[in-house]
Amino acid sequence: MAVSGLQRAGAIDVPAWFVWVAIATGVVMALASGVQKRTWGKALGWVVQIPAIAGFAITPAIGAVGLTFAVVFAIAVRLGRTIDREREIRRSGSESSDPQK
């Protein structure tokens, strides 16, 4: 949407195929957010960051948004690992202290 608006305003000149690639990238990013628990989910999440960051080739604003999404994704992956590790510690600790087992 941003590319389309910038193009209509005359701020940038991009081919129509680029607009479709940008839309497809956004759709794949949305779908990738739902498959993060699968073995290939994180890899897909990282791969779809590449075209978003490559937006610098069109205009720095688009690339900056792509870079921001990549940083947020990296933080989310790191926090997710920390939460998973803490849950595993709590789970193993509660199982060993459970007198019924």
Tell me what pLDDT residue 2 has: 63
Tell me what pLDDT residue 101 has: 52
Residue 52 contacts residue 65 (beta carbons within 8 Å): yes
Q: What DSSP string runs through 31-63?
A: HHHT-TTSTTHHHHHHHTHHHHHGGGGT-HHHH
What torsion, rounded to 10 degrees, do the Cα atoms 40, 51, 70, 35 define?
A: -30
Q: Which of 76, 94, 75, 63 shows the shortest CA–CA distance to 37?
A: 76
Residue 25 contacts residue 52 (beta carbons within 8 Å): yes
Tell me what pLDDT residue 68 has: 93
Tell me what pLDDT residue 29 has: 86
| pLDDT, averaged in runs of 10, over the chain (101 residues) | 67 74 85 88 90 83 88 92 92 70 52
